[in-house]
Structure 1
Amino acid sequence: MRPDLSERRNAVPREDECRVFNRVCPGKRVTAPPADQGTRHHEVFGRYVQVWEGWAVDPEVRRAGSSGGVLTAISSYLSMKKRAPARVVAMDSANPSRSVPIQIMSRAEALNAAGSRYAPVSVGAGPLDELSSITGKPCEVSAIRATRNDLPAGPVLLSFFCAGTPSQKATDELVGQLGHSIENLTSSKYRGDGWPGQFVVESSDGSSNAMSYEDSWGAVLGKQLQDRCKICVDGTGESADVAVGDYWASDQAGYPLFADADGRSVVIARTPRGLRLVEECVDAGILEVRPILLDDVAKIQPLQVKRRRSLPGRLLGRILVGRSVPRYPGYKLARTFFSNLGLNLRAVGGTVRRNVRAGTVNRSR
């Protein structure tokens, strides 16, 4: 079939497409967000304006969300206030084991989409300007921010603390472990309906089974992460206007506890725009918050702390065995390497050994 020549004339030249791709794709490059006026910087969590412990005032929203229902509450509020859809991720109704981006315009739609989706999905495709907000993984929000050249206008960017994206195969494996088949599935939920919530599946015969968050993530999902996630520079949504994470209770050693409780979130305003939004939501009775310190958040987010501090060593280990790595300008990784020297030297050695065992060393070098 002959191509449409008018489309070819209007298309972006291939070399320009490649330059844009290399600039915005988080698999190739993630640039540290600029230090806007009024922002501060934390060695693990990056730029911020203010940080709180918070939750949705609406008890139904708080329970439905993965932690305190904060992102669900904000997305719903913005979509109704601006009379423009908010883009979030939800279960694919046609294929319930999978996740898809959808647009919500009401509290009911927000509640139906509430809860984390630990599976591959993209929220950045398609037109953005008509949206009130976008909720996405840190890498997705970074890419969206880069495509817009960090413009302060447009949809509000919301993100969350991310430990990596499991493969779709991991979800399918969990479904099978609970005695269900993908073909007969009618519903799947990773979290929500309590904090932290459970992995719950239902089938067309009316049967339903569940697995704890600690078991579903710790034993299956968290062990099948996409490779890029293992060398991520930003697990806490630094490019967002507002980023949210679990504000776990912890034991005496600082290890997070996963006992069921009312959800509590870390809420970080990362930009002046994000600060104004959180304050507006508090004034409108949407959120309840109280100020906290990021150093206290670090104590109950040990995985994020270790990943950030040991990242330079893991990157160097991959380089030594001939593997490519993304570029992370502005993140001052050399300083991180030497300020956590022992940790990073161990990370170099561990990364090299794992790659050698896996047979991924570039033999041509």
Structure 2
Amino acid sequence: MNSAIQSIRDVAERQLCSGCGACAYMQPDAVRMVDDLGQGRRPIMLGDADTTEALAACPGAELVHDYDRTEVMAELHRGWGPVREIWEGWASDQEIRFEASSGGAATALALFGLEHDGAGGVLHIAAREDVPTLNETRLSRTRAEVTAATGSRYAPASPCDSLALAESADAPVVFIGKPCDAAAVKKARALRPALDAKISVTIAIFCAGAPSTEGTHEMLKLMGFEDPLAVDSVRYRGRGWPGRARGVQADREESLSYHESWGQVLQRFVPWRCRICPDHTGEFADISVGDPWYHGTIPEGESGRSLVIARTQRGVDFLRRAREAGALELVPRGAEALTRSQPNLLHVRGAVFGRVLTSRLLGAATPRYRGFHVFDAWLKHLSVKQRAQAFYGTVKRVFTKGLRKRLPVVPYEPAVRNAAIEATGQREPMPGSDVA
């Protein structure tokens, strides 16, 4: 562990937090997750308690690969982590395929687990009903609850903050989250046998970074909404592939293309920790899913497709059962499908080495990585110009983002839209938020 990082407060204030929420699960009496408008979901301390236990599950401070290299695709593991099988697929249910992002593979797998594989629920995130620009964690137990949350949520989320719901469930649950969330679950399971017994399978969504809430506000303003908090709903993708971002207020709906929403707005609000992350494809999950961008230009309204990667034997077995049950269509793909689908990620992996090294030399706190071969990627996949850009860009960010200083977490809780909630100060439990 980095000697400069001795507590969860250090992780948060030194801008290393990924926002997963595992710390709040590990030590709920000492840590609580809040929304920070400019940073994302972040932990605040509830006193002066020692947070060593929470720090042990934190993926923001340290990530270590410990899988058996002999059991995965030899040509991929140095750049992409453990990969056992690669498929291209989509939900067999055409409505789910259209409504969800990237063909609805993650939703189809979750529903298979819930309806046919004995899962006790699906732990995932969804928009808050009272403030739809924010997210919250849910344990869904019905098809309606799962499908209501389809479509990517390019906004801060901390699904690990509610791992206690999984631990208390009647049967093992399906977990869906970002790559850092899946990494946190793996670390927490190693520390908590009771949790380990209650996770059926982990599914990670490919991620290029989690934009702050400010990004969503700017996206909605670009759509023409003067007050982002007045919208009734926000969707970032889905209803076609790659799908449009949509804001709805009363009977008015506005939208932006994926290029306009992500390419022009949201990615500008990705926190620094995401830019020094080597795992954008869910290397710690049992299964990871993302867009097969090798299809090139996609016609408007096209039904989606997913690249589906089995990373563990548990993931292989789960995928095969789901396919046999008819939950989703799967077509086998070779190793080249991954590199063709996300060609820039090998460059990103190399840039991470330069960014972390430069940050460390300039006195900024940095994560510790083992088993990612980022130096190899630096040498093999970056040109001299790109290496220089990683160095000079990081020097600039160290000073413009104040990476050598502490940045306190500032809780953000906008006025709620529901009068009953405003009167009582309490939000009603969301579907699945109570444990039977």
User: For the superposition of Structure 1 and Structure 2, which TM-score range results when normalised by the shorter chain?
Assistant: 0.7 to 0.9
Q: Secondary structure at the match of 2:214?
A: helix
For 1:40 and 1:16, locate their aligned partners in 2 and report how far apart those are by CA, in whole Å.
Answer: 44
CA deviation after TM superposition for structure 1 residue 362, in Å? 5.2
Which of 57, 72, 76 in structure 1 is aligned with 2:92?
57
- Say if 1:317 and 1:351, in contact at 8 Å, map to a contact too: no
- Say if 2:239 and 2:301, in contact at 8 Å, map to a contact too: no
* Structure 2 counterpart of 1:5: none
Which of 346, 349, 352 in structure 1 is aligned with 2:388?
346
* Structure 2 counterpart of 1:232: 277
1:191-224 deviations in Å (ceiling 9; x for gaps): 01111111101113x1111111110000100111
Distance 1:38 1:154, change over 3 A: farther
Q: Does 1:76 align with 2:120?
A: no
* Structure 2 counterpart of 1:124: 160
- Say if 1:36 and 1:271, in contact at 8 Å, map to a contact too: no
CA RMSD after TM alignment: 2.6
* Structure 2 counterpart of 1:176: 221
- Say if 1:323 and 1:362, in contact at 8 Å, map to a contact too: yes
Q: Secondary structure at the match of 1:170?
A: helix
Q: Secondary structure at the match of 2:309?
A: strand
* Structure 1 counterpart of 2:415: none
CA deviation after TM superposition for structure 1 residue 279, in Å? 0.4
Q: Does 1:192 align with 2:238?
A: yes
Amino acid paired to 1:354: K
- Structure 1 unaligned regions, length at least 5: 1-10
Distance 1:329 1:53, change over 3 A: same
* Structure 2 counterpart of 1:30: 63
* Structure 2 counterpart of 1:355: 397
CA deviation after TM superposition for structure 1 residue 356, in Å? 6.2
For 2:328 and 2:398, locate their aligned partners in 1 and report how far apart those are by CA, in whole Å.
Answer: 50
CA deviation after TM superposition for structure 1 residue 21, in Å? 3.3
Distance 1:183 1:353, change over 3 A: closer
- Say if 1:166 and 1:222, in contact at 8 Å, map to a contact too: yes
Q: Does 1:203 align with 2:239?
A: no
CA deviation after TM superposition for structure 1 residue 25, in Å? 1.1
Percentage of pairs with the same residue: 31
1:251-304 deviations in Å (ceiling 9; x for gaps): 4xxxx6575421111000000010001000110000111111232321231332
- Say if 1:313 and 1:337, in contact at 8 Å, map to a contact too: yes
Aligned pairs (5 A) from 1:130-149: 130=169, 131-149=172-190
CA deviation after TM superposition for structure 1 residue 157, in Å? 0.8
For 2:327 and 2:119, locate their aligned partners in 1 and report how far apart those are by CA, in whole Å.
Answer: 17
For 1:305 and 1:260, locate their aligned partners in 2 and report how far apart those are by CA, in whole Å.
Answer: 30
Q: Taking structure 2 as the reference length, what is the TM-score of the superposition?
A: 0.74
Amino acid paired to 1:98: L
CA deviation after TM superposition for structure 1 residue 33, in Å? 4.2
1:120-142 deviations in Å (ceiling 9; x for gaps): 11101231232511101110110
- Structure 2 unaligned regions, length at least 5: 1-28, 31-46, 406-436
Which of 113, 135, 155 in structure 2 is aligned with 1:99?
135
Amino acid paired to 2:212: S
1:81-135 deviations in Å (ceiling 9; x for gaps): 3251101111111111112111222222222110100111110123123251110
Q: Secondary structure at the match of 2:53?
A: helix
Worse-matched range after superposition: 302-311 or 225-234? 302-311
Q: Secondary structure at the match of 2:159?
A: coil
Amino acid paired to 1:173: E
CA deviation after TM superposition for structure 1 residue 162, in Å? 0.3
- Say if 1:248 and 1:264, in contact at 8 Å, map to a contact too: no
Q: Secondary structure at the match of 2:377?
A: helix
For 1:208 and 1:169, locate their aligned partners in 2 and report how far apart those are by CA, in whole Å.
Answer: 20
For 1:319 and 1:76, locate their aligned partners in 2 and report how far apart those are by CA, in whole Å.
Answer: 44
